[in-house]
Amino acid sequence: MAFKTKTTKAFAGFLALIGLSVSASIPQSAVPSHATASQRRQFSLHPTFARDVAPIIDQHCASCHHSTQTGKIALCGNNAFSLLSYNDVKRSASEIARVTRSREMPPWLPEHGYGDFVDEYRLSDAEIRTLSEWARDGAPEGAASEIPSAPKFTSGWQLGKPDLVLEAARPLSIPAHGPDVFWNFIFSPDLKMTRYVRAIEVRPGSDLSLIHHANVVVDPARSARRQEKEPGAGFPGMDISLEHSPFDIPSHFLFWKPGSKPWVEPDGFSWPLNPGTDLVLNAHFMPLGRSEQALPSIGLYFTDKPPDRFPMVIEQRMTTRSTFPRATPILP
């Protein structure tokens, strides 16, 4: 049952309360500012960029899809684009609706319902529906005055000045064309005593759109050096095999990608970096149609507090779909 009337806030709220639909002739000002997306649909208001879409994009998409201070896009690949303005998002409205409906974007591989994760990067069903309805309706902007300020990003160290910066011994030439390049850079921290690492950050030393991701591997035995043709040259390969003592069990997954927020270890989970230990940066580069030089660096952030919890990295290789029982949280 529908009514067409110039109604007051009180009357509009009454109609929603008793489950009646109200036609789109109700002015937007009649809708309570605190109304949920579901309640707004009861008032027949269509999603707008200012009110509904911009908060979703800013929270879930902009960290990768933005221009840095140098004008480069934070995301890798030739198809990288910024999503910081209404015109940017409107231009890609149909594509955004498609890739969010299929859950290709934002990238989050764990299936919902099989464990709770810190900083879960997953859209809700309601958010996906909002993006689809907005694209279907022609991507209306809404009131420009209601558009939230776009998030700010820095091209420098995200966590501030590191306690120690390690730079690759020599740059790597990335060709303009050809297959993806997987390269390993070896870093040798000059430490006089054991330091406890609470965070790492990677700077690729190249156009951000050139690098897909990188892993940092701890090499206490310095075995990676034997795979170099000459000191400081690095060596190719995606899956690397390093020697380690049975007492040096890998404990942390040290991963970085463009646009990601550097991971800071929770209290008690720092990891020791001993004198004489190498760090290997296992990096994945993607040719972009122009030759580039990459000279990556690693920023290390220390803490004086040694770890009192000792995780273990368990690697499972599989070719079929697997499920895992719900885990018991170990963090408060």
Domain assignments of the chain as residue spans, ordered by start: 1-45, 46-154, 164-303
Instruction: Tell me 320's DSSP state.
Output: S
H or E stretch covering 135: helix 125-136
Residue-level pLDDT at 127: 93
8 A C-beta contact, residue 273 and residue 188: no
Please give the Cα distance from 169 to 185 (Å, whole number): 8
Listed residue (64, 15, 22, 7) closest to 256, CA to CA: 64
Range with lowest mean pLDDT among 14-18, 28-32, 244-248: 14-18
Residue-level pLDDT at 210: 77
Q: What's the mean pLDDT when you consider all of the chain? A: 78
Mean pLDDT of 299-319: 80
Please give the Cα distance from 242 to 219 (Å, whole number): 7
H or E stretch covering 254: strand 254-256
- Higher-pLDDT residue of 145 and 76 is 145
Confirm whether pTM is higher than 0.85: no
Measured at the alpha carbon of residue 108, what is the angle toward residues 148 and 137, in degrees to the nearest 5? 45
Render pLDDT for 173-196 as a digit per residue (tens, 0 to 9).
999 899 999 999 999 999 999 999
Residue-level pLDDT at 26: 41
Amino acid, single-letter form, for residue 78 = N
pLDDT at 81 over 90: no
Render pLDDT for 248-269 as a digit per residue (tens, 0 to 9).
767 777 888 777 778 889 899 9
- Relative to beta strand 181-187, strand 211-219 is unpaired
CATH fold of 164-303, please? Answer: Jelly Rolls (2.60.120)
